[in-house]
C-alpha cells in the first residue's frame, strides 16, 4: 500500500485488515510511518530511506504481493511493479509525485501481470461494501484538515507536497 497514511491509503489499510489481509505500507516520513502502523499496517517501509521493493521481497520471502495499491504515482511506479507476484494486480489511485509515464503493456504481460477494467456496476458494489464497513466502525475515516472550498488550490498544493495524512475535506 503506497501512501498508507494518506486519505485513501488509511481507508484501504483498515479495510484490508478488516478482511484479514497482511498489509505492507509505505510512507515518506517518520510521522506517516507511525500513522500507517496505527491504521493497521503489519509492516511499514519509509520509501525515501529504503528500497521498498527489496524490503517487500524480504518480508514476503520472495513471494511478492497479490495486489499493490499506489497513491504516489511516478516516484514509486517502477519499483511497485517489482513487488507484484505473477498475475498480481496494480491499482493506481493517486499521482502525488506526478503522472505515471506511458507503459508498454507487452512488458507487463511478459511479467504475467493481470489487467482488469472495472465496470460501473462493480464500482457500485465495492462502494456499498466500503460504506458498510465504515458504518460498522471497522474502518474509521481520519480527517487531516477541513478547508473552505475557496481554498481548494491550497488543499491541492498540500496534497501535492505530501504535507497531508488522512483525508482533506473541502467545505462549501
Dist. CA 36–CA 42, nearest whole Å: 9
Q: Quote the pLDDT of residue 159.
A: 84
* pLDDT at residue number 161: 85
- What's the pLDDT at 118? 57
DSSP secondary structure string for all residues of 102-155:
P--HHHHHHTT-------HHHHHHHHHHHHHHHHHTSS-PPEEEEEEGGGHHHH
Instruction: Enumerate the domain spans of the chain.
Output: 7-171
CB 130 within 8 A of CB 104: no
pLDDT score recorded for residue 116: 59
The architecture CATH gives domain 7-171: Alpha-Beta Complex (3.90)
d(CA 107, CA 87): 13
Per-residue pLDDT tens listing for the chain (172 residues): 899 999 899 999 999 999 999 999 999 899 999 999 999 999 999 988 999 999 999 999 999 999 999 988 898 888 999 999 988 888 888 888 889 998 887 777 777 666 555 566 667 787 888 889 999 999 999 898 999 999 999 998 988 888 888 889 999 9
Would you say the C-alpha torsion 161, 69, 171, 29 has a positive or negative sign? Answer: negative
CB atoms within 10 A of CB 90: 20
Q: What is the pLDDT of residue 83?
A: 94
Report the pLDDT value the prediction gives residue 30, as an integer from 0 to 100: 94
Amino acid at each position: 500500500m503506497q501512501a498508507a497514511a494518506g486519505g485513501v491509503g488509511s481507508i484501504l489499510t483498515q479495510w484490508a485488515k478488516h478482511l484479514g489481509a497482511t498489509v505492507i505500507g509505505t510512507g515518506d516520513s517518520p510521522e506517516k510511518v507511525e500513522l500507517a502502523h496505527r491504521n493497521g499496517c503489519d509492516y511499514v517501509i519509509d520509501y525515501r530511506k529504503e528500497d521498498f521493493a527489496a524490503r517487500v521481497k524480504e518480508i514476503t520471502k520472495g513471494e511478492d504481493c497479490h495486489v499493490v495499491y499506489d497513491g504516489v504515482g511516478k516516484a514509486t511506479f517502477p519499483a511497485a511493479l517489482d513487488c507484484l507476484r505473477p498475475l498480481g494486480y496494480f491499482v493506481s489511485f493517486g499521482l502525488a509525485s506526478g503522472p505515471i509515464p506511458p507503459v508498454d503493456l507487452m512488458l507487463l504481460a511478459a511479467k504475467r501481470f493481470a489487467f482488469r477494467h472495472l465496470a460501473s456496476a462493480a464500482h457500485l458494489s465495492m462502494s456499498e461494501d466500503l460504506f458498510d464497513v465504515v458504518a460498522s466502525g471497522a474502518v474509521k475515516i481520519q480527517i487531516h484538515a477541513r478547508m473552505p472550498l475557496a481554498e481548494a488550490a491550497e488543499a491541492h498544493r498540500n496534497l501535492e507536497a505530501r504535507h497531508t495524512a488522512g483525508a482533506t475535506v473541502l467545505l462549501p
